[in-house]
């Protein structure tokens, strides 16, 4: 199918395509991290994950307006403020939800599924009431748009690089938090044995609350970042939720490394297949691969070994 | 008709007053003619005459239904239609209503769920006995309510541009069917921009697929080439791969029919990948982005794209200026008006014209009266209902501006005939 193209063109496209795959990889990791933390560490399936992302997106939208109106001189840098605010807002709401809802349903995973789904519907309607049913456009600073031309045909999207750097930053942040901090040690202790962790003086309730909050906060950052590449509307969160669950379940629910490996597998196969086949077929085949592997390994790619 | 009603309504039956009543008739006859010809709204015929099938019509009101999604994913698109229909109803009421009756509406929410649409349409037709329904947006919702309208003999005014291949005695299609939107647009881009190669792109469902099929046939008929055709699932948010393919194939025109949230992702990523639409290399022609969608996409991301529609908010004619002003006064100064919103606005007016022509609210009489009805006050200009229940209308091409509006760069000279079953395109 490529006989009509020169070798140089093909190399360029190969490079661009690899880059497209990496962007998709970063997007998937960013989407899934928050969910993976909550699912992996607490066993709670947060169906409202997409709505937390959109809360982050709306926070960004509001911040952009505030900067445009009151601080136009600082507009170029508003996005960083917006991301920080998105984290704080979603963290706060997450903590509130854990305190008001999740902690009562802890022992009943199916009920948390239903409760968080209900929460997602409530949030959607809330956004619709506050911001209107239509999508809103988030204005980006000029420097974040467009692309950096390396050669005549190789053009690297700046927002793609931005998402990649951000993902790297967040992922390493989560790694340090989980595996290098006292708090992470407590979280891991609670996951491995809740009663014993409580017995040695860890406040398990508090650990749960902050875990949930941080998971939601990261969803908020992801939502904020996705205003660069996607839409912001009351139901936009639904666009991401399926892929997010796919990544988390495929990776093995309790493993953050698994989430990253699974995001990598899915993104690379998706973008390669998309190039050779049509978009819908690529999606079908990716899903078939995932289903096939999950049939062979129901626990996902990486499973945490714990004594049952 | 007015004069005879006057007579039959008179209580003056005494023989003594026969002569006076005769004189009265003599005076009333020309007077009635003048009134009848000057404005139809003066005529207020009795309910038993204008409503023989038990619709919700009283001596001073008539009830219609509005059936759109105001919740769920489609609320984004359908809100504008609801607003337009309510505006038209208000304006008609301010002019005295239809056959002297004020329009009242019952609004139901289809909730972006097709079975709900069917259920609610049954409720409107069977329980509320509405005289007409203005509603639906997606083809899927229309297909869901169609059997209900045909079974209970209702009349639906459907506003969206759609794929064609349908003609129901119970639906008036006020948007364009596919050929009206596609063929004139492609002819324009070939003639004006010298386009030779096309890349067809769409969301994966019936409307984009049928539309692209018609586009492909037409392009090939002109002896030109389609270099790629792709579909992405609804809600897809990653378009980098297809953008790379487009860069590799270097088509003259990207023909894009992406819808919903995907739209925003597609245009943002196109811009981020260094494809500046204002350079027209490649040029982008779409039939799925109205001013409503640009709100979400952002004018700076789609500046330079072309759209083939029948209506743009920026159309420069007195009808449209009045319409835009009235719409903004009612719904807020920041609001934008897209193609479908305008088509939805036509619904109540076309229904009013049909009722007045038929002199009755009966569905069968409205159906018989509808073909040939013309509207000179439409914001898009002049429209006329075809025998096949679609509208004759012009096709226009607009160039997207940074402020989110389109600049009209082309308008077909003639009204384009609706052809829902195009021979040789299937």
What is the pLDDT confidence band of residue A129, given thresholds at 50, 70 and 90?
confident
Q: Indicate whether B189 belongs to any domain.
A: yes
Q: What is the pLDDT of residue B376?
A: 93
Assigned domain for B48 exists: no
Do B92 and B188 belong together in one domain? Answer: no
pLDDT average, residue stretch B281-303: 90
**Are B110 and B131 members of one domain?**
yes
Instruction: Examine residue B45 and state whether it is found in any structural domain, yes or no.
Output: no
What pLDDT, in 10s, does the model give residues B238-267? 888 888 889 888 899 999 999 877 888 899
Whether B236 and A283 lie within 8 Å, measured CB to CB: yes
- The model's pTM: 0.82
**Together in a domain, B206 and B224:** yes
What residues make up the domain containing A89?
28-234
The number of helix segments (H) and strand segments (E) in chain A equals 11, 2
Query: With 90 as the cut, is the pLDDT of residue A240 above it?
Result: no
At residue B226, the pLDDT reads 94
Residue B186 included in any domain: yes
The residues, ordered by sequence, that sit 6+ positions from A239 with a Cβ below 8 Å of its Cβ are A50, A230, A231, B235, B237, B261
pLDDT of residue B343: 96
pLDDT band at B9 (very low <50, low <70, confident <90, very high): very low
Q: Quick check: is B156 in a domain? A: yes
pLDDT band at B379 (very low <50, low <70, confident <90, very high): very high
A305 lies in a domain? no
Give the model confidence (pLDDT) of B312-332 as tens digits: 999 999 999 999 999 999 999
Residues of chain B with Cβ-Cβ distance to A234 below 8 Å are: 75-76
Averaged confidence pLDDT in chain B: 87
Q: Which residue has the higher pLDDT, A149 or B61?
A: B61
State whether B277 and B329 are in the same domain.
Answer: no
Residue B32 sits in the same domain as residue B127: no
Strand partners, B65: B106, B133
**B284, B306 contact by CB (below 8 A):** yes
Q: Which B residues, 289 through 348, put their C-beta within 8 Å of a C-beta on chain A?
A: 292-301
Residues B26 and B138 in one domain: no
Is residue B186 located within the same domain as residue B155?
no
SS (H, E, C) B109-136: ECCCCHHHHHHHHHHHHHHCCCCCEEEC
Question: What confidence tier does B384 reach under pLDDT thresholds 50, 70, 90?
Answer: very high
* pLDDT attached to residue B298: 86
Q: Are residues B271 and B406 in the same domain?
A: yes
Which of A12-26, B49-63, B115-129 is predicted with the least confidence, judged by mean pLDDT?
A12-26
Output the pLDDT for position B38: 43
The span from the CA of B35 to the CA of B37, in Å, is 5
Asked if B79 and A280 come within 8 Å (Cβ–Cβ), the reply is no
How many domains does chain B contain in total?
3
Q: Crossing angle, helix A204-226 and helix A7-42, to 10 degrees? A: 150
Give, as one character, the DSSP assignment of residue A104: G
User: Looking at the predicted structure, is the pLDDT value of residue A101 above 80?
Assistant: yes
Q: What percent of chain A has pLDDT over 90?
A: 28
Answer whether residue A257 is part of any domain: no
Provide DSSP, B248-308: HH--SEEEEE--THHHHHHHHHHHHTT--GGGTTTEEEESS--HHHHHHH-HHHHTT-EEE
143-182 in A: which are within 8 Å (CB) of B? 145-147, 149, 153, 155, 157-160
Q: Domain residues for B101?
A: 61-176+316-393
Does residue A140 fall inside a structural domain?
yes
Shared domain for B278 and B404, answered yes or no, is yes
Q: Is A135 on the interface with B (CB under 8 A)?
A: yes
Phi, psi of B177, deg, nearest 5: -85, 170
Could you tell me if B243 and B331 lie in one domain?
A: no
Residue A222 is assigned to a structural domain of this protein: yes
Which CATH number belongs to the domain containing residue B114 in this structure?
3.40.50.2300
Please list the helix, strand and coil fractions of chain A in percent, rounded to the nearest 5, in that order: 75, 5, 20
Per the structure, the count of domains in chain A is 1
pLDDT exceeds cutoff 60 at A157: yes
Lowest mean pLDDT across A26-35, A241-250, B36-45, B412-421: B36-45
Rounded to whole angstroms, how far apart are CA atoms A21 and A264? 8
In a domain, B54, yes or no: no
pLDDT interval class at B24 (50, 70, 90): low
- Residue A298: inside a domain: no
Q: What is the per-residue pLDDT across A27-39, written as a single tens digit (0 to 9) for each?
A: 889 889 988 888 8
Give me the mean pLDDT over the B90-103 stretch.
Answer: 94
Computed over every residue of chain A, the mean pLDDT equals 86
Residues B351 and B280 reside in one and the same domain: no
Residue A84 has which token pair?
């920080």
Confidence band (pLDDT; 50, 70, 90) for B10?
very low
Q: Does A16 touch chain B (CB under 8 A)?
A: yes
**A interface mutation test: which of B232, B294, B296, B403 has the most A CBs within 10 A?**
B296
Backbone angles phi, psi at A177, to 5 degrees: -65, -40
């Amino acid at each position: 199918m490529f006989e009509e193209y020169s070798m140089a063109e093909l190399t360029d496209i190969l490079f661009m395509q690899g880059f497209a795959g990496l962007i998709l990889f970063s997007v998937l990791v960013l989407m899934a991290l928050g969910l993976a933390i909550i699912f992996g560490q607490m066993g709670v399936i947060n169906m409202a994950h997409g709505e937390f992302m959109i809360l982050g997106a709306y926070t960004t939208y509001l911040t952009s307006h505030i900067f445009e109106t009151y601080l136009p001189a600082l507009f170029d840098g508003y996005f960083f403020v917006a991301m920080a605010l998105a984290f704080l807002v979603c963290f706060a709401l997450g903590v509130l939800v854990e305190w008001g809802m999740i902690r009562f349903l802890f022992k009943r995973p199916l009920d948390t599924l239903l409760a968080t789904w209900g929460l997602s519907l409530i949030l959607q309607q809330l956004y619709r009431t506050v911001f209107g049913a239509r999508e809103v456009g988030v204005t980006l600073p000029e420097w974040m748009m467009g692309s950096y031309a390396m050669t005549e045909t190789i053009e690297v999207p700046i927002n793609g690089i931005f998402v990649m750097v951000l993902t790297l930053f967040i992922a390493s942040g989560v790694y340090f938090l989980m595996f290098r901090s006292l708090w992470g040690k407590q979280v891991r202790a609670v996951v491995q044995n809740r009663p014993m962790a409580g017995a040695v003086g860890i406040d398990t309730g508090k650990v749960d609350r902050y875990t949930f909050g941080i998971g939601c906060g990261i969803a908020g950052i992801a939502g904020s970042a996705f205003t660069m590449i996607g839409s912001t509307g009351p139901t936009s969160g639904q666009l991401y939720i399926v892929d997010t669950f796919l990544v988390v379940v495929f990776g093995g629910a309790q493993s953050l490394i698994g989430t990253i490996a699974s995001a990598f597998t899915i993104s690379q196969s998706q973008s390669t297949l998309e190039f050779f086949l049509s978009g819908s077929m690529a999606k079908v085949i990716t899903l078939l691969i995932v289903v096939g592997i999950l049939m062979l390994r129901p626990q996902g790619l990486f499973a945490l070994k714990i004594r049952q | 008709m007015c004069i005879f009603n006057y007579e039959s309504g008179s209580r003056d039956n005494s023989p003594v007053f026969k002569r006076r009543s005769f004189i009265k008739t003599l005076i009333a006859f020309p007077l009635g003619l003048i009134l009848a010809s000057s404005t139809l709204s003066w005529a207020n015929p009795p309910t038993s005459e204008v409503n023989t099938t038990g619709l919700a019509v009283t001596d001073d009101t008539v009830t219609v239904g509005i059936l759109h999604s105001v919740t769920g994913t489609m609320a984004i698109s359908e809100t504008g239609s609801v607003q337009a229909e309510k505006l038209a109803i208000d304006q008609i009421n301010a002019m005295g209503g239809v056959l002297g009756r004020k329009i009242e509406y019952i609004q139901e929410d289809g909730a972006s769920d097709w079975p709900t649409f069917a259920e609610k349409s049954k409720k409107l037709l069977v329980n509320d006995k509405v005289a007409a329904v203005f509603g639906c947006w997606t083809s899927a919702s229309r297909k869901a309510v169609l059997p209900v309208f045909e079974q209970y003999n209702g009349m639906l005014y459907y506003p969206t541009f759609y794929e064609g291949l349908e003609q129901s005695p119970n639906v008036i299609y006020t948007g364009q069917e596919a050929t009206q939107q596609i063929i004139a647009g492609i002819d324009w881009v070939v003639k004006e921009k010298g386009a030779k190669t096309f890349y067809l792109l769409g969301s994966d469902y019936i409307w984009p697929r049928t539309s692209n099929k018609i586009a492909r046939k037409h392009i090939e008929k002109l002896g030109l080439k389609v270099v790629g055709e792709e579909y992405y699932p609804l809600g897809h948010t990653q378009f980098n791969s297809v953008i790379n393919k487009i860069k590799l194939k270097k088509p003259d025109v990207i023909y894009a029919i992406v819808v919903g949230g995907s739209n925003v992702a597609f245009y943002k990523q196109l811009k981020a990948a260094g494809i500046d639409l204002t350079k027209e290399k490649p040029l982008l022609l779409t039939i799925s982005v109205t001013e409503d969608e640009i709100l979400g996409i952002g004018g700076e991301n789609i500046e330079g794209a072309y759209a083939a529609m029948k209506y743009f908010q920026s159309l420069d004619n007195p009808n449209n200026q009045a319409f835009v002003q009235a719409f903004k006064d009612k719904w807020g100064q920041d609001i934008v008006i897209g193609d479908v919103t305008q088509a939805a606005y036509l619904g109540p007016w076309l229904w009013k014209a049909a009722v007045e022509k038929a002199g009755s609210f009966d569905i069968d009489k409205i159906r018989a009266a509808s073909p040939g009805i013309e509207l000179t006050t439409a914001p898009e200009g002049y429209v006329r209902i075809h025998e096949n229940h679609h509208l004759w209308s012009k096709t226009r091409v607009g160039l997207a501006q940074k402020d989110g509006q389109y600049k009209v760069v082309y308008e077909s000279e003639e009204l384009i005939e609706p052809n829902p079953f195009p021979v040789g395109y299937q």
